[in-house]
Structure 1
Amino acid sequence: MVGAGPAGIRAAEALSRHGLSAILVDEAPKGGGQIYRQPPDSFQGPASSRYGFEARKASALHLTIKRLATAIDYRPSTLAWNVCDGRLDTLCAGRGESVVYDILVIATGAMDRMLPLPGWTLPGVYALGGAQIALKYQGCAIGQNTVFLGTGPLLYLVAYQYAKTGAKIEAVLDVNPAHAKRRALFALASSPRTLAKGIYYRASLGTHGIAVEEGVTPMGIAGTDEVREVHYRRGSVDKSVRCDAVGLGFGLKSETQLADLAGCRFRFDGESRQWLPERKSDGESTVSGVYLAGDGAGIGGADAAELWGER
């Protein structure tokens, strides 16, 4: 299995429970994935301060991987960089190794969807996921005066997490107009818990006095050797906001590189606007013995990823 997030951990647990030999490879030093990323041992504090509403789920998954570490061949801090002909190529501490497998479960999760704009490569511009890693793993903000720009649930979640720590946020700039979100409310009616969390995150920003502008058009990020300000347009008005860091992201997309290297057949998914690897009802891809679990085969969230991994 590749990836010790919700899907990979539950897959490893299921295999171990049935007495099967399992190897779990993960790039991070501790299991949990991006959503439940664990801090270094020296970092103290309750799980609720780091994972919010998902603290209980995070703690449960962390306990599971801790228990599994002695029951399976768990390989943290290990990069899986290639897969070909029943062999997974890995790199750990500068040493390469080829791991032969009978069954491969790819549970590589999701990554930020980035859209280029002028100045996006300046020092001080981070993907939203990177901004979240800095906060969860090192307990630090990406800047002293931060702007979050983009769209999607992660935009508001990361902004909320930063605001909760007392970090100074100059603005949250959402490219989606308000009327588009109102239309989406009907689709979210079947997921009241998700809807409630989204409303809470959005309202919390207002409570902290953080300006949220919707329906903006990003024009660029200005600066010479570092971020100085963000230029954008709202309606017919050109605006700018000064800052020293930008968290940038336009939703999530599946991380599919290993599935591609494995030779899996892909199809275009219009809803996510991405080419995704095909899979059967049991999770097997079009390549015999290669299975796909979690967000790496289509964005479904952490709860769905756990279920896919377990089955």
Structure 2
Amino acid sequence: MEDRRPRFELEHDDGLNAWSVAEYAAGPALKGLVHHYTDYWERTGGFSTRRELPIADGVMIFNLADPLEIVGGDGRTIRLGAGEAFVAGTHLRPALSRSTGEQAGIHIFLPIESVRRLIGVPLGQMTDQVVALDDLLGPRARRLGERLVQAPRAHRAALLDSVLQRRLAETEACAAQAHALRLLRTRPDLDIMGIARDIGWSRKHLADRVRDAVGIGPRSFRRLLRFHRLTKAIGDTPDWAGLAAETGYYDQSHLIREFREFAGMTPSDYLARSMPGGGLIEG
């Protein structure tokens, strides 16, 4: 198995909370299908629950240590032991992750449409849900998790590359669907009907195909993309009016309304609960 060096490593220890994270690139054959992998470890003494904000990408995490509880945006809870994984459908509401001890895992960052291909389930059936990967893929998900638990950190990225490449090769991407998603991401100047015309689809067919791939319709997906851009751009002392203009909101009031809708809190609450290195403390 290839011994891969991380693109970067970070550590934090303030005497109460400690964590380390290493980011690994996905292999060249997965370009455009998987962004990267983040291998992490943490011990938390100051909190036990995180609030996970909605994002416009896919989320798949293998737990490698003590049990982890995940609460989806729909309020349902799943519990994962070492070697078990979950996948999240597109969320329009926050999810919660609850630590029950020392945590370690590997987070696979990938486009939401790659999740659709990996699990073989229309994502319109999974909006605001987190689902155990075993329930979707059966024993092969558990076998991969067991191998990840046993593998050294430097080998895990290559192991994931191999398994994900094989699984994605079993499915075919729809070129027109991929083009529609690309336009939604990169051409905010095009209205929904204009995108449908560009592809040769009706507006309804476009909505159905986008919902199949990402779990929500085109208009909601664009709103989520905008919120995702916003949360990535927030610094320690944000200029909210400036961020509103930069990320596509009408004004600061529009930003605050949508922030409350997606995050379940105000921007000022978000800053108050933010942790070093990213993430939000719940409560």
For the criterion TM > 0.5, the same-fold answer is no
Larger helix proportion, structure 1 or 2? 2
Per the normalisation by structure 2, the TM-score is 0.29
- Which structure carries more relative contact order (alpha carbon 8 Å, separation 6+)? 1
Larger strand proportion, structure 1 or 2? 1
